[in-house]
Structure 1
């Protein structure tokens, strides 16, 4: 299987890349990024701007895609910029890969994703899931983690406090709302690529 990883510089995407290059089931692994990866391993690492229209290239021709693209409202600077990354860019990449032959797509989404949500963040995630479902992938995997437990390059004070509270209160918090490790999310995304046709939604408590 030829695999593409989108968002390989992020907490989950980098873990997907680390695990993928160690597995024997992938003929090739390609990880396009905005800046060169420090340790791409055996992966091909084209550096692109991710501006639309996306560039035409032979590396879009893969069998499966794992998408971990995403930002925060603070990083993006505005709702419009956030929507551009977490919705528009995800769908544009998915469409380009689909046109090039990809039949399987796995998305690292978010717990509570819903196109009808009052939360802008969760509504965006839900609309992205809906858009992907309309593309006709043979197998679509939507993974919805709760708070992600991972080391990050950037500082996220609110998330850090949430993780500390989640770790301390884990025994009494329902499993769905407990922090989930990037390692477990990556393993789930990779494992689910090999299933049968259909749309599969995995909630946070199902990630392992």
Structure 2
């Protein structure tokens, strides 16, 4: 793999993907479209974009693979409609544009319990995103489904941070699927998925990430 697109590079998992990808000799260039500038790096192309109006014909869409770690919370988004736009609509638009320009592998940071038929809005949104990504037509498509994610976020998520701390205290007693997964491990599996680019659709549950 020579050209990698990373969407969501400023988030917890995305920032780990970015560091790992820039250090990976098999990755020649990382294209990371963001709203705010990233720290410059010789291998990094960082176009500043508005995800509401992505430039459809930009030449930097021509990459070999894509990793998407976009995501928000209901508290930050402010409404279900705004949440759905960030967690479903934006990843889908990125996928369509990258595929149209030749990308062959896509890895998506989804979530434990993702199910398009779920009554839980969060889980249903993730499930619908997975379902719709499958219709884009990537030869290689991977869904990583972590539960609680361990790591220090720039943007505070008090409820999630409390849940992570409690889970870490009782970690030995929890089933593997409910244990806290370090963000760097999730990043590693996302990057590994697109580097290998195995044909077909692949789902990595939370317990497989430990």
**Normalising by structure 2, what TM-score?**
0.96
Structure 2 residue matching 1:171: 3-state secondary structure: helix
* In structure 2, distance between residues paired with 1:176 and 1:99: 35
Unaligned runs of 5+ in 1: none
**CA 1:148/1:40 → structure 2, altered by over 3 Å: closer, same or farther?**
farther
CA displacement, residues 13-61 of structure 1 (integer Å, 9 cap, x when unaligned): 0100000000011121110001101355621111111113544211100
Moved over 6 A (4+): none
3-state secondary structure, aligned to 2:90: helix
Equivalent-residue separation in structure 1 for 2:4 and 2:134 (angstroms): 19
The range that moved more, 83-92 or 32-41, is: 32-41
The answer for the alignment partner of 1:27 in structure 2 is 28
Partner of 1:168: 169
Secondary structure, counterpart of 1:21 in structure 2 = helix
Aligned length: 208
Pick the aligned partner of 1:207 from 200, 206, 209.
209
| Alpha-carbon separation, structure 2, partners of 1:158 and 1:82 | 17
Change (3 A) 1:101 1:136: same
RMSD of aligned alpha carbons: 1.2
Structure 2 CA distance for partners of 1:4 and 1:61, relative to 1, 3 Å: same
Unaligned runs of 5+ in 2: none
Secondary structure at the counterpart of residue 23 of structure 2: coil
54 and 85 in structure 1: CA distance in 2 versus 1, 3 angstrom threshold? farther
Q: Give TM-score scaled by structure 1 length.
A: 0.97
- In structure 2, distance between residues paired with 1:115 and 1:88: 15
Equivalent position SS for 1:3: strand
| Deviation larger for 190-199 or 110-119 | 190-199
Q: Does 1:79 align with 2:80?
A: yes
- CA 1:28–1:94 in 2, change beyond 3 Å: closer, same or farther? same
